[in-house]
Amino acid sequence: MPSTDLSTALPRLLLFLGLSLSLIATATAQDAADKPAAAATEVKEKAEASKTPAEAAEKESKPADSKPAEAKTEEKPEAKPEVKPEAKQEKKTDEKPAKPKKEAEPAKPAAEEPKAEAKPEPKKITSLGYSNTPFIRGQRWKVHDMNRPRPRAIVPGNASTYDKPGTAPSDAIVLFDGNNLDNWGQLLPEDPGSIYQPLWSVADGAVTVVPETGHLRTLDTFADCQLHIEWASPEDVQGASQERGDSGVLLMGKYEVQILDSFNNRTFADGQAGAIFGQHPPMVNASRPSGQWQVYDIVFEAPTFKDGKLESPAYMTVIHNGILLHHRRELVGSVKDKELQPYSEDQPAGPIVLQNHGTPVRYRNIWIRPLN
């Protein structure tokens, strides 16, 4: 063997020994690291082998994603565009707390710009009348004349009952309402040309004739008119013919409608209840029994004169208890007992007169509507 120099061989030997020791240390460390893993695997295999068939089946039925949460790789949701909150204005420290607001009203639609409206076509109001129709004979108005004055509106009265008198229309003059005789005066037999304070009695809503005191007359005078008057003869029947409940109502103080108890009471035809006295008997006898209230509605047209001569006679329509007795009956003159009194020109109007023939006849609810 060749001789070796120790100075050369010694360093090489030391280098070799260092490398060997390093490799040994690395292998030892690797072996130490592999032992726990192998041990864990061995434990796991033993545990799996020791499980019952039911546990094994339960494990196989579990989905594959039932691994520990840390082993899963979660899918990240798609990124949404970030909505930035509106910047809020900082409240001032000295601001007062806001008051609760009322419920919001529904938003009103925005006002549209005004458009040019089409001009409406004019339309005739034919209900107001016409101007192209012929004139009515004897009148200055045409048929359905649009310029002819229209009637005014009134309130009608209420009808009477046996116990309670009715009411007058709104345009009537109430001559007696059951309270007083302010619209009347007395005509004394000894002084027929003068007017005195009334002497007839007023009680229980009625005025009753007082014998030997004369006739009662209105203070005002009337011509053409509609007269409503209610009357009752005494319930205690006394006398017969013209002595039984005798009185009368005179228009203009001259033209008489007879008042008489004509229930089962015979007298001359033109002197019974409802007759135009001494001239025209009523068409029927519509009298109620003695003592009951009866109603006259009279429409009177006064006579007219021209140059001292009669131009138009008087006319009278009489309704008794709702029954027509005279329909625009022409009068032959003024009233006079047992005679015919011709027309004579006088004042154009006269009073309403209630006669006193000594029988206590009662009157109520007297009103008049002038027609001129």
Domain ranges of the chain: 173-370
> Each residue's pLDDT tens digit in the chain (372 positions)?
444 455 566 666 666 666 666 666 565 556 555 555 555 555 555 555 555 555 554 555 444 444 444 444 445 555 555 555 454 454 444 555 555 555 656 666 666 666 777 888 888 776 888 899 999 999 999 999 999 999 999 999 999 998 899 999 999 999 999 999 999 999 998 998 899 999 999 999 999 999 999 999 999 999 999 999 999 999 988 888 988 999 999 999 999 999 999 999 999 999 999 999 999 999 999 999 999 999 999 999 999 999 989 999 999 999 999 999 999 999 999 988 888 888 988 889 999 999 999 999 999 999 999 998
Instruction: In whole angstroms, give the CA distance from residue 258 to residue 196.
Output: 25
CATH class entry, domain 173-370:
mainly beta
The answer to whether the pTM exceeds 0.85 is no
Q: In Å, how far from its chain's centre is CA 2?
A: 149
pLDDT score, position 72: 47
Find the helix or strand (DSSP H, E) in which 58 lies: helix 53-61
DSSP 28-48: HHHHHHHHHHHHHHHHHHHHH
Give the pair of three-digit tokens for residue 335.
């009233």
Cα-based distances in Å from 188 to 45, 200, 251? 154, 12, 19
pLDDT score, position 1: 47
pLDDT score, position 18: 66
Query: What are the strands, taking DSSP E only, across the chain?
Result: 173-176, 184-188, 191-196, 201-203, 206-208, 215-218, 225-232, 247-251, 255-259, 294-301, 304-306, 309-312, 315-320, 323-330, 353-354, 362-370
pLDDT score, position 224: 98
Instruction: In whole angstroms, give the CA distance from residue 285 to residue 193.
Output: 36
pLDDT score, position 166: 94
